[in-house]
Structure 1
Amino acid sequence: MKLALVGIGKIAVDQHIPSIAASDQWELAATLSRHGTLDGIDSYTDFDTLLNTHPDIAMVSLCLPPVPRFEYAAKALKAGRHVMLEKPPGATLAECHALTKLAQDNGLSLYATWHSREADKVAVAKAWLADKTLLSLKVTWKEDVRRWHPNQDWIWEPGGMGVFDPGINALSIVTEILPVDIHLRDATLMVPENRQTPIAANLAFYHPRGAEVSATFDWRQVGDQIWTIEAVTDQGTLTLLDGGARIMVDGREDALVDNNPLSGEYPRLYANMAALIACGGIDMDLRPMVHVSDALALGRRVAVDPFHD
């Protein structure tokens, strides 16, 4: 199937384009960007022109920042194209619900992707936790914003989410591996004096069976980057490391094996999208985004030192 890639920024170059090139299900037919182009691929700066010129494009993959994304997604759906959304699926929950209805009304597939759910050991962790009683779960997500988001000013603006841009990856894993739903009960947000969005956050969640669930996100980490989820249960302790790429059970690594032969988060996302289209499905799990929205609504804000890139 032919697709168009909208937004040729860092995530598109690093992840989407190589995954599409390696897929035998997808062909990159066109791109849309104000600045970026790809050799040998039709490039556009106007979305209407792209859609009108390429009626054979079946799917549009959107890699734009969340705030402008709704307009493009809605236009693609109205033009009869399936839509794949980079995380988070939108700037607000309401617009995500609107896109879901638009896709349903037009008989199209819509996919809110959560790439961290496709990390190698996430499915293994989910299966291991399924029959155990959770006692506590602790997320520690600490990285250097200057390393991962250099000169990306949009991420500090309203709708950009700040530290929740990586933090939502952790929340996407947590909502996938836990057999019961949780909800936020308390949050503290550290916001630089010169920015609109948090640089760090501490979250506490309600678990229906009494487990202690918490998360710490911090963009000020230097040195080793930390992306871990530790789940203590009545039958042992499971730890996901490196964002779900590695797993330990009671301190022993690779105690569990993943039987999924497809390697890589983004190749799996594109395979999922092809499967959704084949069955006429929609996958818009908004639970990770609900937790972020709740934190931004409920969280107590603490002013911290200004941030300069």
Structure 2
Amino acid sequence: MSAINLAIVGVGKIVNDQHLPSIARNPDFKLVATASRNGTVEGIDAYKTIDAMLEAVPAIDAVSLCMPPQFRYEAAHKALAAGKHVFLEKPPGATLSEVADLEATAAAKRLSLFASWHSRYAPAVEAAKAFLAATRITSVQVNWKEDVRHWHPNQAWIWQAGGLGVFDPGINALSIVTHILPRAAFLTSATLEFPENCDAPIAADLQFKDADNLPVHAVFDWRQTGKQTWDIVAETEAGTMVLSEGGAKLSVNGELKFAEPEQEYAQLYCRFAEIIKVGQSDVDLSPLRHVADAFLLGKRKIVEAFYD
């Protein structure tokens, strides 16, 4: 199979930091065009809109959509209508309904749609899943706390309705939890803290349980300075499991069991190529469903205004 002609829509920090290096190292893809209001890639044909790009470069086979989620549905629908496979950055969309519509459209056109969850491909995630499958879990604690000013400076869209606020990083934790737990959990209560000048939360406290009443507690906070915290701690009959540094390291009872270099986006593009080759889609909405449940069930707490 010849290389898949790929285009990127929305050239920003995540594209430069992760997508471009991963695409460059993957022989299954050839980057042929970009569409972005401001960003470009040196040596690659650049267009201001996806419409102009699709019209000018009919040889495009697949499109990676990396703009904010509020604007992703329209672009994805245009790409699918033009017969292109689609890679959706996380979260896959602003609502569950629009992603379900895209999934149905892709199926009808026999195209591949990929709802990517990069944190599931963190090095120690599969080892954590295997460990939990072999023991009985008694509780799970998720702590996902970081400094929004460091990771998302001057990104006003993230504080607007549909931008998800602290769930933008928090959904990474949910993507891991939904992958490694043996049984599905569901939300029972939540408190969401909204800055008085924002439409999206800056912190969230979430309580879950599964059918066996396993307690799962998650705390997301965007106000942490200094050392950042991305940990999932499970108490089990086999000891305390800690999946730390966003899924990079696995420890049991304080002993490091697994750690390898991060290759999340490289693995995402391997998966995208795989589903294109076999004519399938990969659209798991469980992390986004938990976020939607939090907005449905959560108590709203107003806190002091946030200024970047």
TM-score range, shorter chain: over 0.9
Question: Mapping of 1:249-288 within 5 angstroms?
Answer: 249-253=252-256, 255-256=257-258, 264-288=263-287
SS in 2 for 1:94: helix
Partner of 1:207 in structure 2?
210
Query: Does 2:295 match 1:292?
Result: no
Query: Does 2:76 match 1:73?
Result: yes
In the superposition, relative to structure 1, how do residues 165 and 263 fare at CA in structure 2: closer, same or farther (>3 Å)? closer
Which shifted more, 205-214 or 134-143? 205-214
Shift of 1:2: 1.0
Partner of 1:236 in structure 2?
239
Shift of 1:265: 0.3
Shift of 1:22: 1.6
Residues 148-192 of structure 1 deviation map (CA, whole Å, 9 limit, x = unaligned): 000000000000000000000000000000111001010000110
TM-score by length of 2: 0.97
Q: Distance in 1 between matches of 2:130 and 2:80?
A: 35
Q: Are 2:194 and 2:200, in contact at CA under 8 Å, matched by a contact in 1?
A: yes
Shift of 1:26: 0.9
Structure 2 unaligned spans of 5+: none
Instruction: Using the aligned pairs only, state the percent identity.
Output: 53
Query: Does 2:19 match 1:51?
Result: no
Shift of 1:263: 5.3
**Counterpart amino acid of residue 76 in structure 1:** A
Structure 1 unaligned spans of 5+: none
**Counterpart amino acid of residue 138 in structure 2:** L
SS in 2 for 1:244: coil
Shift of 1:47: 1.5
Which shifted more, 185-194 or 48-57? 48-57
Which shifted more, 16-25 or 134-143? 16-25
| Residue among 145, 149, 152 paired with 1:146 | 149
Residues 128-153 of structure 1 deviation map (CA, whole Å, 9 limit, x = unaligned): 11122110000000000000000000
Q: Distance in 2 between matches of 1:277 and 1:40?
A: 26
Q: Are 1:135 and 1:210, in contact at CA under 8 Å, matched by a contact in 2?
A: no
Aligned length: 305
**Counterpart amino acid of residue 197 in structure 1:** A
Q: Are 2:248 and 2:259, in contact at CA under 8 Å, matched by a contact in 1?
A: no
Question: Mapping of 1:98-247 within 5 angstroms?
Answer: 98-247=101-250
Partner of 1:61 in structure 2?
64
Q: Distance in 2 between matches of 1:157 and 1:245?
A: 31
Shift of 1:23: 1.3
In the superposition, relative to structure 1, how do residues 160 and 257 fare at CA in structure 2: closer, same or farther (>3 Å)? closer
Shift of 1:73: 0.2
**Counterpart amino acid of residue 31 in structure 2:** L
Question: Mapping of 1:32-51 within 5 angstroms?
Answer: 32-51=35-54
SS in 2 for 1:64: coil
**Counterpart amino acid of residue 299 in structure 2:** R
TM-score by length of 1: 0.97
Instruction: Write out the 4+ residue segments of structure 1 that deviate beyond 2 Å after TM superposition.
Output: none
Q: Distance in 2 between matches of 1:85 and 1:132?
A: 34
Q: Are 2:118 and 2:172, in contact at CA under 8 Å, matched by a contact in 1?
A: yes
Q: Distance in 1 between matches of 2:93 and 2:36?
A: 18
**Counterpart amino acid of residue 77 in structure 1:** L
| Residue among 85, 89, 97 paired with 2:92 | 89
Q: C-alpha root-mean-square deviation of aligned residues, in Å?
A: 1.1
Q: Are 2:77 and 2:102, in contact at CA under 8 Å, matched by a contact in 1?
A: yes
Q: Distance in 1 between matches of 2:45 and 2:168?
A: 30
SS in 2 for 1:243: coil
SS in 1 for 2:74: helix
Q: Are 1:124 and 1:257, in contact at CA under 8 Å, matched by a contact in 2?
A: no
Q: Are 2:123 and 2:259, in contact at CA under 8 Å, matched by a contact in 1?
A: no
